Amino acid sequence: MELDRAAHDLSADVTPPEDLKRQARHSSGFLERFTTAATNWTGRNSAFACAMALVIGWLVSGPIFHFSDRWELFINTITSVVTFVMVFVIQRAQNKDTLALQVKVNELIAAHKHAHNSLIAVERLSEEELRALHDRFVQLSTSAAAGANTARLDVDVASRKAG
């Protein structure tokens, strides 16, 4: 009951989407705007086309440079640098998407009166605790498929057993 009240209070404090958009425009710094633009661009067809044009240009220039060590070093250096940077671009995009997804799921959990509000911060559990909780939900699903009377899942019992 207390968790439901806290979830309701939390949802009352959520900023409307229009205000969030306005805040994002004003509060995001240069680095965030740059990384967002890089993330968006690298996922487009034009980025792939640029990469292919670079590789094709490099291949075509091989005979011109007599397939020299410098010619090979050029593509090796470029691909190494791009790969290094892309690791961080991809990780940033995944982190942001995961966080946004967690917020959306948390809102759904908080809004549903029969949901376990204790699942809102489930990402903070250890992997072992998450596996135990997953196994409890699989048991519940199996029981429901078999037509058993499915009582509400006791999440706290599952996390105590895992710990």
CB 125 within 8 A of CB 163: no
CB 83 within 8 A of CB 33: no
Domain that holds residue 150: 125-163
Residues 102 and 132 in one domain: no
pLDDT digits (tens, 9 = 90+) for 103-154: 888 888 888 888 777 777 888 889 999 899 888 888 888 887 777 665 555 5
Residues 100 and 40 in one domain: yes
Residues 83 and 158 in one domain: no
What Cα–Cα distance (Å) separates residue 149 from each residue in 116, 122, 123, 152? Answer: 19, 26, 29, 10
Residues 23 and 83 in one domain: yes
Q: For the chain, what is the radius of gyration of the CA atoms?
A: 25
Q: Is 67 left (phi over 0), alpha (psi -120 to 50) or beta?
A: left
What domain count does the chain have?
2
Q: What percent of the chain has pLDDT over 70?
A: 74
Give the contacts of 4 (CB within 8 A, at least 6 positions apart). Answer: 113, 117
pLDDT digits (tens, 9 = 90+) for 3-41: 445 445 554 555 556 665 555 555 578 988 998 899 999
pLDDT digits (tens, 9 = 90+) for 141-163: 888 777 766 555 555 554 455 44
* Residue 80 reports pLDDT greater than 90: yes
